[in-house]
Structure 1
């Protein structure tokens, strides 16, 4: 693109206003959803790992580690963690998809168009939230087959689904912030896999905090995964909701603000380098 063309495109971005930016975001959100639908392996990959853990741990050890020794009770206790794990590992797809767009040249083609600069990032976040909803739904359906039940009304069910999806947007911003800076998607994916596993296992998702080793308890209490899981338990079957939900939302806001700013800055910087 010539300098004059770039200037004209930039002027179109500025003059389009909110309506144009919204239209650009909707278009790229639709594209992200279609990419997911055309490549179901993205959903399968995100669902497979937490489902395997759910089945293995529940069938093999549920009656041993569950409060009261009941396998169905352990499914009721642990399912929120497996649902959150599905969203965490789906967020890896958000980062890898962003990296692929940057490396394939698709992003450069977008930059040559008179679209809102924020649209590619926001469109991916919203579009991938649809994939997260599918992931969450599949895990819950399998959990119900194993004995999981909603007993806290319609609002509880709604909150059970909405809270992890909202938290997933904060994690997705973190993945994008990393994706726009790394030079190797495989290396970044391996490192992030380890981090997400630690966040999952060092939480109150598998066992109550009181049953964890003393030195792990402060880590588990501060872990945002614990906050989301505990709030989801309360929403599904009664129990504390407000305190863990507020902690989860504060973590989400922090992740979104910090990594959202880093993602936007890194995206612009990478565009100038490109």
Structure 2
């Protein structure tokens, strides 16, 4: 008995009910999450993309622009650049998972998993958990480097926890978007799309300068794009300032992106697993 679509075993037990029962979802998700994380950990390019490049970018921005930004804003530039780098790394790093998914589709691994006695939802859930772990690790590394440069939390333990959660929420929503693109477009287009989103989100955000320092015609775009809201929420949670509205706007953006992309993403994942 090899096909998951068979209704019964030799003992007359409905295998589909067991394979898709809630009690096997968590352990099978953890097994597949471990597989994905091990694959990333053994990929030198992925490790450089996730850990090295965000740190180098943070150091470069702090050396080149840190003093100038501090003079304009009146506080350390790190309260904007550390959140900005954490969010940008969440976007850029999601390409790793998307490219890995494309490779598993082309190699036929997704099709083999589809016909095995494995919970169908564990494949998708494991990728969500793996993305959350990746974002958390990258964010923790950037915070550690930022604190060595002078970044500090001034709003208490709960604010620190909320600060760390923002990149995870933000990154998972963009991972859904990028995974959708990966499942419905060519690999080259995926890389170009991720690069474009990454650059536009970073350049036209409040991570470097306040909104009023941008030309007036672009200020509404800078003020209301999702990365700016997330940066402002994280700045308020670390340095102090408005938190409620930036956090709410970040959640609305993340929910909207996920709601729009989740359907096509699941359809594309099923198609990649069955064709």
1:185 is aligned to 2:187: yes
Q: Over residues 102-155 of structure 1, what are the superposed CA-to-partner deviations in whole Å (9 max), with x where a residue is unaligned?
A: 112211110111222222122012112112111111111111111111111111
Aligned match for 2:127, one of 117, 124, 127: 124
1:196 is aligned to 2:194: no
CA spacing shift, 1:60–1:102, aligned 2, 3 Å = same
User: CA separation in 2, counterparts of 1:57 and 1:40?
Assistant: 24
Alignment of 1:42-191 (within 5 A): 42-67=46-71, 73-182=76-185, 184-191=186-193
Q: Over residues 217-258 of structure 1, what are the superposed CA-to-partner deviations in whole Å (9 max), with x where a residue is unaligned?
A: 111122111111110111112111111111111111122222
5+ residue gaps, structure 1: none
Following TM superposition, the consecutive aligned residue runs of length 4 or more in structure 1 with deviations greater than 6 angstroms are none
1:46 CA drift (Å): 2.6
Q: Over residues 19-39 of structure 1, what are the superposed CA-to-partner deviations in whole Å (9 max), with x where a residue is unaligned?
A: 123332222122222223333
User: CA separation in 1, counterparts of 2:4 and 2:23?
Assistant: 21
User: CA separation in 2, counterparts of 1:178 and 1:144?
Assistant: 35
User: CA separation in 1, counterparts of 2:233 and 2:69?
Assistant: 21
Q: TM-score normalised to the size of structure 2?
A: 0.89
CA spacing shift, 1:73–1:104, aligned 2, 3 Å = same
1:39 alignment partner in structure 2: 43
Q: Over residues 53-86 of structure 1, what are the superposed CA-to-partner deviations in whole Å (9 max), with x where a residue is unaligned?
A: 322222122212324587x711233221111111
- SS of the equivalent of 1:128 reads helix
User: CA separation in 1, counterparts of 2:155 and 2:59?
Assistant: 25
- SS of the equivalent of 2:48 reads helix
Q: Would you say how many aligned residue pairs link Structure 1 and Structure 2?
A: 269
User: CA separation in 1, counterparts of 2:171 and 2:73?
Assistant: 32
Aligned match for 2:242, one of 220, 240, 243: 240
Q: TM-score normalised to the size of structure 1?
A: 0.90
- Equivalent residues of 1:94, 1:175 under 8 A apart: no
Task: Give the aligned CA root-mean-square deviation in angstroms.
Answer: 2.2
1:229 alignment partner in structure 2: 231
